[in-house]
Chains A and B, each alone.
Chain A
Amino acid sequence: MQSLRLQSQTESIKRASAGIVNFIIEKEKSVHKDILFDIKLCVEEAVRNAIVHGNRSNVHLPVDISYDIADNKITITVEDQGNGFHLEKLPDPTQAENLYKESGRGVYLMHRLMDKVHYNTKRNRVTMEKALK
Chain B
Amino acid sequence: MQVKIQDKETVTICYVSGDIDINSAPLIRKELEKVLSGKKAKVLVNLKDVSYVDSSGLATLVELLKNIRAYGGKLKVCNMAAKIKTLFEITKLDRLFEILPSEDDAVKSFV
Interface residues of A (CB under 8 A from B): 10, 13-14, 34, 37, 40-41, 44-45, 48, 93-94, 99-103, 105-106, 108-109, 112-113
Contact = CB atoms under 8 A, between A and B. Distances in A.
Interface string B41-75: 00000000000101110111011011000000000
Given A105-B55, A105-B58, A44 B90 contact: no
Contacts of A108: 91
Given A99-B62, A100-B62, 9 more contacts: A44-B22, A93-B92, A94-B92, A99-B92, A100-B65, A100-B96, A101-B62, A103-B55, A113-B90
B83 interface: yes
Contact of A48 (B22, B58, B66, B96): B22
A106 to B, nearest CB: 4
Contacts of B93: 99
A12 to B, nearest CB: 11
7 contacts: A37-B83, A44-B21, A94-B92, A99-B92, A99-B93, A102-B60, A105-B59
Contacts of B3: none
Interface residues of B, number: 22
Nearest to A14: B23
Interface of B: 21-23, 52, 54-56, 58-60, 62-63, 65-66, 83, 87, 90-93, 95-96
Contacts of B66: 100
A4 B90 CA distance: 30
B59 A103 contact: yes
A13 B58 contact: no
A37 B55 contact: no
Contacts of B92: 93-94, 99
A100 B97 CA distance: 11
Given A94-B92, A100-B66, A10 B59 contact: no
Contact of A105 (B23, B91, B95): B91
Contact of A10 (B23, B54, B65, B87): B23
A10 B83 contact: no
A99 B63 CA distance: 11
B77 to A, nearest CB: 15
B47 to A, nearest CB: 15
